[in-house]
Amino acid sequence: MRTLVDAPLFLRPDEVVQLTGYKIVSRQVDWLRAKGWRFELNATRRPIIARSYAEKMLGCGSEFGSSARPNFSALRTA
C-alpha cells in the first residue's frame, strides 16, 4: 500500500495514459483540456498533473482549501 510519504507529487506518465486513455501526448492534452483539468506542460511538452488534484477530480481526495476550522458559534452561550 502506498503512503503519502512515498507517493510521487505528480502523476507518472503511465498514469496519465491510464487516466486519458491516450498514449499520444497531444491527445492527452486535448482530453485534459476538454474535461477542464488543470495541468502544466513540462519542457518536453508532456502534461504534468498534481496527484492531489487528480485525486480531487476523481472524487477520492480532499477538497482544496478545506481545512478544519473551530466552531466559534458553539462557544456562544444561549
Q: How far apart are CA 72 and CA 54, in angstroms?
A: 33
pTM above 0.75, yes or no: no
Residue 75: predicted pLDDT: 78
How do residues 23-35 score in pLDDT, each as one tens digit?
999 999 999 999 9
Residue 5: predicted pLDDT: 63
Please answer whether residues 16 and 31 qualify as being in contact, where contact means their C-beta atoms are separated by less than 8 angstroms.
no
The full DSSP string for 2-64 is: --TTTS-SB--HHHHHHHHS-SSHHHHHHHHHHHT---EE-TTS-EE-BHHHHHHHTTSSPPT
Task: Tell me the average pLDDT across 42-71.
Answer: 84
Question: Looking at the predicted structure, is the pLDDT value of residue 64 above 90?
Answer: no
Residue 68: predicted pLDDT: 66
Residue 63: predicted pLDDT: 58
Q: How far apart are CA 13 and CA 46, in angstroms?
A: 8
